[in-house]
Amino acid sequence: MNITKKDIDNLNAVLTVEISKDDYSDKVESILKNYRKNANIPGFRKGHVPMGMVKKQYGTAILVEEVNKLLQDNLHKYLTEEKLDVLGNPIPKNEKDVDWNEEDFTFEFDLGLAPQFDVDVKGKKAITHYKVVADDKMINNQVETIRKQYGKLIAKDTVEDGDEITGTFTLDEKDIDNPATFSTEDIKGKKQLKALKEAKIGDVVTLKTKGLFNDDHDNQKQLGVSHDDAHGLDIDVDFKVEEINTREMAELNQEFFDKLFGEGVVTSEEELKEKIKEDAEKQFAQQSDQKLLNDVVENLIENTKFDLPDEFLQRWIQVSGEKPMTEEEAKAEYERSEKGLRYQLIEGKIRNENEALQVSFDELKDHSKQMIKAQMAQFGNTNPSDEELDGIAARILSNEEEVKRMTEQLNTTKMLQYFKENAKLKEKEISYDDFIKEASK
């Protein structure tokens, strides 16, 4: 067997594979002899079928199968040994022209080659890393929300601002018969709110759904309609008032603090607010890090310039899936996936050039044990033994899907840390509301 490579340009090449009779004949003959021993053909005793008849019936199929095995095995071996960095898989050029009645065969394959490029992680323009802070307004609102959540419900006969109303929405024509509880603060429509405030327990109020709630999604939850129907819903529904309650907010005392955080962890309103701020900003940091990662990735894709074998990749997409695509479908799919492919190549180069970014088995094991400890702590087991952790971790690491998922998590964590240490960043302090506006741009 002989394999040669001819470069078309820097991104495209053709592999020619020459297979002679000597490469496959012994294997094909061996399989045919085995077929002859086991063939059941009317008129012949088992094992005495003429070889000519066996070859006529099975010879071509066996030849095709064995030659294809040789092709796949040796193509893979060649690409590995030559260290060719290819995109996609080799695409056969002349498979329809092969004459299987010949003894020697020549196959050609198109190759798409990965481009050569440099990655400048630092870049020229600084990328903003937001430090999201919980401001006084947010903290005070959270304190009020928690006090309401842990406060007492007091029954009432009439509705006032801030009250909770429980009842049932009905409309026979739309099959609406849905129990609901909401606050007057959830109501957007002034006329609807006025009608509810004038109602008493047992009254039935007709409400217009258009503009009823601050968020149209509440139509889905409170009226029991579909997500699609919830948006812009404009009908009249009946609402029977069954309960009216006001919430007496919980007192800011030690019993309340202990109920929230455990005995003695928080001892004053100031410490409560500091704890809320600390917990909130931990969550904000995760969101900020995700935006930073997205922004660095976008910046690298935009500023790392290299060409791709576009035509080859579109043809590969067209023929490589379970269901063949048209040229137009393949082109559209390529356009959708091109940015992802570009970053995959950029990230691969960064990882190959930085050994510390590789994920080791010990790191996977440590990561799985930390996850296990966190989960066990939720159920009250805060001090599991090393033997217990090792046993559970071993079971997790035997699951291929779990290993893949954890590897992706660690890869992302390592890349984020690498970008924090190497990219050109500028820190900006920002409120959560302003951060959300920035993130949605």
Same domain, 282 and 243: no
Q: Would you say residue 135 lies in a domain?
A: no
Torsion angle of C-alpha atoms 89, 92, 93, 98, degrees rounded to 10:
170
Shared domain for 352 and 434, answered yes or no, is yes
Boundary of a domain, candidates 248, 281, 301 = 248
Do the domain assignments include residue 119?
A: no
Say how many domains are in the chain: 3
| pLDDT tens by residue, 113-148 | 999 999 999 988 999 999 999 999 999 999 999 998
Same domain membership, residue 427 and residue 341: yes
What CATH code is carried by the domain that includes residue 161? 3.10.50.30
The mean pLDDT value of the chain amounts to 91
Q: Which domain holds residue 182?
A: 152-248
What are the φ and ψ backbone dihedral angles of 195, each rounded to 5 degrees? -65, -40
Q: How far apart are CA 167 and CA 178, in angstroms?
A: 9
How deeply is 211 buried, as exposed, middle or buried, from its count of CB atoms within 10 A (0-12, 13-18, 19+)? middle
pLDDT value of position 441: 77
Query: Quick check: is 144 in a domain?
Result: no
Residues 275, 218 share a domain: no
333 shares its domain with 427: yes
* pLDDT single digits (tens) 327-348: 999 999 999 999 999 999 999 9
Pick the last residue of a domain from 66, 85, 113.
113
Task: For 251-300, give the DSSP string.
Answer: P-SHHHHHHHH-TTT--SHHHHHHHHHHHHHHHHHHHHHHHHHHHHHHHH
In degrees, to the nearest 5, what angle opens at C-alpha 125 toward C-alphas 124 and 130? 140
Same domain membership, residue 81 and residue 228: no
CA distance 125 to 296: 11
CA distances for 43 relative to 32, 290, 334, angstroms:
19, 74, 57
Residues 413 and 312 placed together within one structural domain of the fold: yes
Those residues of the chain that have pLDDT short of 70 are: 43
User: Does 133 reside within a domain?
Assistant: no
Q: Quickly tell me which residue has 């033997």 as its tokens.
A: 387
pTM: 0.75
* DSSP, residue by residue, 123-159: -SSPEEEEEEE--HHHHHHHHHHHHHHTSEEEE-SB-
Q: Given this model, what pLDDT does residue 183 score?
A: 92
Residue 44: give its domain's CATH number. Answer: 3.30.70.1050
- Considering the domain architecture, whether residues 94 and 222 belong to the same structural domain is answered as no
